[in-house]
A and B are shown apart, each in its own frame.
Chain A
Amino acid sequence: MFTQLTDWFPVLLSLRVAFISVVIISILGLPLARLMARREFYGKEFVEAAITLPLVLPPSVVGYALLVFIGKNGLLGKALAGMGVTLVFTWYAVVMAATVVAFPLMYQSAKAAFQSVDVNLEKAARTLGAGELRIFFTVTLPLAWPGILAGLVLSFARALGEFGATLMVAGNIPGQTQTIPTAIYFAVESGRYETARTLVAIITVFSFLVVFWVNRWAKKQKH
């Protein structure tokens, strides 16, 4: 039923892209979520809607928007081309597409998690002499951690499965930008069903294990 997979490149690239995206998303998303969870400012709803937009837009629209930025004649793309750097149709573009599309999932989960932390605990830490950074790492982050982990897993899974935007900005170049989802699509297109089946099995089992493990871990935390 399953054939030996001859080309492991899509699997390795997908994992690498998902991992790097989640790291970028965490570095940008956690401080932003923390800020938005506690601060009120003019135009906050507008910013929130903009951050959440990639979650609800069709991935092809996100891909189009990315092309406007990093395409050969794009706003950023043109400047980079002058320096001899091309982003479109490279694996960097794959990372960018996955990052943008998966970002809102992490942001939403982390923001809800930060909001669920009792503000009085942070205030208590302040009166005990703890600085803001120390409070974040010893009080806020540990208490928000289950929600943040859920966000990490969701965004990892979303990055791993990203298809539409990836195809538009990075294409499907075997050995360069081909990920598991795009490889599955083109394998089916060209009638290589065994390859498609194997890739489907790999991504399904892997995703299942990740979700299963996180759920178990979350349950243990509650007890």
Chain B
Amino acid sequence: MLEAQLTKKLWHFQLDVHFKVDNQILLLWGHSGSGKTTILHLLAGLLQPDSGFIKVNGRLLYSDAEKVNVSPQARNIGYLFQEYALFPHMTVRQNVFYGLKCKKGKGDEPLLDPVELLNSFGVGHLLDRYPRQLSGGEKQRVALARALAVRPQVLLLDEPFSAVDKKTRVGLRKELRKLHEQWQIPFILVTHDEEDASYLGDEVIHLEKGKMRDLTTSFTAYSRGLCAENASYVQM
């Protein structure tokens, strides 16, 4: 479970959000520049909020009141970057083992075998390729494997489907749903795509200039129609 209350002054508006997510998919939906990526950065510790708190499974990661600020390295939060941020000078194997080498001997949780993860994502045969030799969908699977190999307690995904074409997108959405069912940790996904929001979001937060507008109810109604549409699209 993740709970966060965050404020951060950005140059053109004030970010002010409070949300709580169980082992579900939370969607941050809004136009570009509405503060979505900033929220992911704050959660991962790549940016520091002005005030508030972040709590994951009862562990306090940030609190201005208690002067707690856990480093991004120690937060155990997985982050799938927009465009995936795979290390271009490393092979797929080196990429997915990168986090493991850092965590060796530090964590108490057993780590995963990244090769098995890659196999389960259907990209196990790409181990010795470089990122530039991969398609958008392959890159995404590798980046997911890299983020999940260190057994994060939360997974953040920034526009995970922006770099793939529409057809791949529909397939990847389904895979992500399945992945979430296996992992049972909070996924927080940023998107500006309404279909993503309706198909994936257990809960949706609509962001507008750093403020939240809860749209869960209206979206569930909207999503029923769209899911049906998606299903037919996939079958075609």
Report Cα–Cα, A127/B150, bound state, in Å: 10
The contact of A129 among B41, B85, B89, B150, by CB within 8 Å, is B150
Q: Which residues of B contact A143 (CB under 8 A)?
A: 88-89
* CB interface residues, B 57-108, toward A, < 8 Å: 72-75, 77-79, 81-83, 85, 87-89, 98-99, 102-103, 106
Interface string of A113-127 (1 = CB under 8 A from B): 000001011011111
Q: Which residues 64-120 of A have a CB within 8 angstroms of B? A: 118, 120
Please give, as numbers and ranges, the residues of chain B lying within 8 Å of A130 by CB-CB distance.
Answer: 73, 98-99, 102
Give chain A's interface residue range (CB within 8 Å of chain B).
Answer: 10 to 19
Instruction: Tell me the nearest residue of chain B to A123, going by C-beta.
Output: B46
Q: How far is it, in angstroms, between the C-alpha of A14 and the C-alpha of B73 when the chains are bound?
A: 46
Return A38 CB to nearest CB of chain B, in Å: 13
The answer to whether A126 and B83 touch (CB under 8 A), given A134-B102, A143-B88, A143-B89, is: no
Within B26-67, which residues are at the interface with A (CB < 8 Å)? 41, 44-46
The answer to whether B72 touches A126 (Cβ under 8 A) is: yes
Most A CB contacts (10 A, CB to CB) among B75, B87, B147 go to B87
Among residues of B, the one whose C-beta sits closest to the C-beta of A131 is B73
B139 interface residue per 8 A CB criterion: no
Total inter-chain residue pairs, C-beta < 8 Å: 60
Binding site for A on B (CB under 8 A): 41, 44-46, 72-75, 77-79, 81-83, 85, 87-89, 98-99, 102-103, 106, 146-147, 150
Secondary structure dominating the interface of A: helix
B73 and A124 contacting across the interface, CB-CB below 8 Å: no
- The answer to whether A128 and B99 touch across the interface, beta carbons within 8 angstroms, is yes
Q: Which residues of A contact B72 (CB under 8 A)?
A: 123, 126-127
CA distance A1 to B217 in the complex (A): 92
Residue of B72, B74, B75, B106 with most partner-chain A CB within 10 A: B72
Candidates A123, A131, A134, A139; contact of B81 at CB < 8 Å = A123
The answer to whether A126 touches B85 (Cβ under 8 A) is no
Residues of chain A within 8 A (CB-CB) of B82 are 120
Q: Is A31 an interface residue (CB 8 A)?
A: no
Asked if B146 and A126 sit within 8 Å, CB to CB, the answer is no
Neighbouring B residues of A175 by C-beta, 8 Å: none
Name the contact of B73 in the complex, choosing from A126, A138, A139, A142 (C-beta under 8 A). A126
B102:A127 contact, CB within 8 angstroms: no
Alpha-carbon distance between A121 and B74 when the two chains are bound, in angstroms? 18
- Given contacts A129-B73, A130-B73, A131-B73, whether A123 and B85 have CB atoms under 8 Å apart is yes
What are 15 A-B residue pairs whose CB atoms fall within 8 Å in the complex? A118-B85, A121-B85, A123-B44, A124-B81, A124-B87, A126-B44, A126-B73, A127-B44, A127-B75, A127-B79, A129-B102, A130-B99, A131-B102, A142-B89, A143-B88
By beta carbon, the residue of chain B nearest A128 is B99
A120 CA to B41 CA, complexed, in Å: 11
B98 & A128 in contact (Cβ 8 Å cutoff): yes
Q: How far is the CA of A124 from the CA of B86 in the complex (A)?
A: 8
Measured between beta carbons, the chain B residues less than 8 angstroms from A128 are: 98-99, 102, 146-147, 150
